[in-house]
Amino acid sequence: MVEEVAKTILVSHAINRDHHTTLYIKSSDVSRLLQSDKEALEPNAVHVLNLPGYKFRLSMANDACLVRWVSTGKNGRFAVYRHNGSDADFLLKPPVFVDVNVPADGFNIMREARSDGLHAVVWHSAFLQHLRVYSMDCTVGGLIAEEGVPFVDFDSSPYEERFERIPSADATAQGRFLHLVYRRDRVAFNGANPTLLLLGDAYWLASDPARLRRIYALIDSGFVLALTTLPREPKGSPLSDAEYLANAETTVGDIRATVKHLVALGYSAPGKIAAFGYLHGALPLAALTNREPELFGAAMVMYSSTDPLTLLVLEQSKTQVDSELLRRARQYSPFHGVREAGDYPPVLVLDVLMDGHLNSVQTVLYGYNMQQATQGKNQTLLYLEDAVDVFRDLEEVDPPNRFFPFIVSHVLKSLCPGWQAATGCL
């Protein structure tokens, strides 16, 4: 094994076609090299290697090669280093890269020790099986992709789990991915299927086994479950984060692109898509619903973050705020752009009332403004009251499980008014 070699090791990393970064490290530090999650190695190494934009997530080795997982910011890849014969300095050849079609964040890399050796498993919120299982094949300096490993304890053969990259005209943009689960015998790919679309942070809706069983009941009746990554969800505020509005614009574009991708491939149709925005994804969904209500058959927002326009208007009372910044913030504020005429999808606004205090004033304001602008048409505000101390952790209130029945009810009422468990949408 590599750890047992009593020689100095040379590792050569291919950064691009024209440049290589070389690292010499003592054999006593190999174990730390293999196991460290940090880009910078231990200070007693001869040279410290630092590759900006790379993040090591997994490594494993055998007598013939070493494999590491790196993240490039857009997607993930394995770097396979073959041993270069029996050289005195135990030379590792420059890596062969194996790209894997998963987003750069929000996934796990795991080792599996099996009878035929070590395996690498790429897992990203899988509901049926691990997305990939790779085995090292050091004779060719690469990895062999195997069948997926079952992840559930029931018969998953009727279901399909797909993981697709959403096309983007911007070649430098971070990867946009769509995770889909559906029954093969219930999806016709003609736009007729209702879809539950979970945006970014809303993945938690399907993370609990009890809730997931209810979602599978929807899938059995013809629903498509879709989860999309939002790699640039706006966080912080436009006052403290120069990228806030750019991220808001990108996130709105990502949500729009996701809907259009679902429609283009026949998974669903605009009037059949119920989108759920949570935390940082709530306000971008609200803003897009205001401007392009025809994209959705239903929408749900919960625990929204602070509206950028509200912050800037408050700051305007203290100092002059750039007018262009205000104009852009108004575009991505959920309190503006609501059409006074025209049909809006049913919108469910969710929040928790804790000891007389609402958890998110922004969510309340969004619901109020939508009701005012649309004369209350299709807007529902739901505040679950919980008589607990206001300083108590929100997790103790367990809002996901308490809200879940209302979310499912809203989706069914909006997309499938004649829904029955045996026949699905009528």
Task: Report the distance separating Cα 372 and Cα 374, nearest Å.
Answer: 6
Lowest mean pLDDT among 25-29, 241-245, 286-290, 334-338: 25-29
Instruction: Give CA–CA dist 124/122, Å, rounded.
Output: 7
- CB neighbour list of residue 303: distance below 8 Å, 6 or more residues apart: 278, 279, 282, 350, 351, 359, 360, 363, 399
The CA distance from 197 to 200, in Å, is: 10
**Average pLDDT in the 101-121 region?**
75
What's the DSSP call for residue 37? Answer: -
If asked whether residues 7 and 94 sit together in one domain, one would say yes
Considering the domain architecture, whether residues 135 and 179 belong to the same structural domain is answered as: no
Question: Which of 165-169, 177-181, 257-261, 394-398 shows the lowest per-residue confidence on average (mean pLDDT)?
Answer: 394-398
Residue that wins the pLDDT comparison between 28 and 1: 28
Residue type present at position 248: A
Q: Among 67-76, 204-213, 284-293, 376-385, which stretch is predicted with the lowest mean pLDDT? A: 376-385
Q: Which residue has the higher pLDDT, 230 or 85?
A: 230
d(CA 255, CA 285): 7
Query: According to the model, what pLDDT value does residue 353 have?
Result: 55
Q: Residue 423 domain-assigned? A: no
Sequence-ordered alpha helix ranges (H) in 47-178: none
Q: CB burial class (10 A; 0-12, 13-18, 19+) of residue 413? A: middle
Of 84-98, 349-363, 369-383, 387-401, least confident by mean pLDDT is 387-401
pLDDT on residue 45: 36
| Domain identity same for 189 and 286 | yes
pLDDT for res 419: 72
Higher pLDDT, 206 or 187: 187
Q: Under a CB-based contact definition with an 8 Å cutoff, are residues 163 and 385 in contact? A: no
Per-residue pLDDT, 128: 81
Domain ranges, residue 82: 2-146
Q: Quick check: 57 pLDDT over 90?
A: no
pLDDT of residue 78 exceeding 80, the answer is yes
Side-by-side strand order, sheet with 117-123: 108-114, 117-123, 132-137, 142-146
Residue 112: strand pairing partners: 119
270-279 mean pLDDT: 90
- Say whether both 113 and 223 belong to one domain: no
Is 62 or 390 the better-scoring residue by pLDDT? 62
Q: Are residues 231 and 122 part of one domain?
A: no
Share of the chain above pLDDT 90, in %: 10
**Bridge partners for 385 per DSSP:** 353
Residue 324 lies in a domain: yes
For 411-421, the pLDDT digits (tens) are: 998 898 877 76
Residues 120 and 214 in one domain: no
Identify the CATH number of the domain in which residue 200 sits.
3.40.50.1820
Of 87-101, 303-317, 330-344, 351-365, which gets the smallest average pLDDT?
Answer: 351-365
Q: Which residue has the tokens 């009810």?
A: 409
Please tell me whether residues 135 and 178 are part of one structural domain: no
More confident residue, 403 or 380: 403
- Examine the domain organization and report whether 181 and 289 are in the same domain: yes
pLDDT at 241: 57
Q: What is the pLDDT of residue 399?
A: 58
Average pLDDT over all residues of the chain: 70
| Residue 175 domain-assigned (yes or no) | yes
pLDDT band at 196 (very low <50, low <70, confident <90, very high): very high
Q: What is the average pLDDT across 92-96?
A: 76
Kindly state whether residues 258 and 383 are assigned to the same domain: yes
Q: Are residues 9 and 39 in the same domain?
A: yes
The residue among 75 and 159 whose pLDDT is bigger is 159
Q: Single out the residue in 119, 146, 173 at which a domain terminates.
A: 146
* Mean pLDDT score, 312-339: 67
Check whether 54 has a pLDDT greater than 50. Answer: no
- Report in angstroms the alpha-carbon separations of 7 from 3, 40, 64, 66, 177: 10, 21, 16, 16, 43
Cα 19 from chain centroid?
A: 32
Alpha carbon distance 163, 120 (integer Å): 18
Q: Is the pLDDT of residue 395 over 90?
A: no
Residue 140 has pLDDT above 80, yes or no: no
Residue 208: the pLDDT is: 77
Task: Say if residue 254 is in the same domain as residue 378.
Answer: yes
The total of structural domains in the chain comes to 2
Rounded to whole angstroms, the Cα distance separating 49 from 9 reads: 13
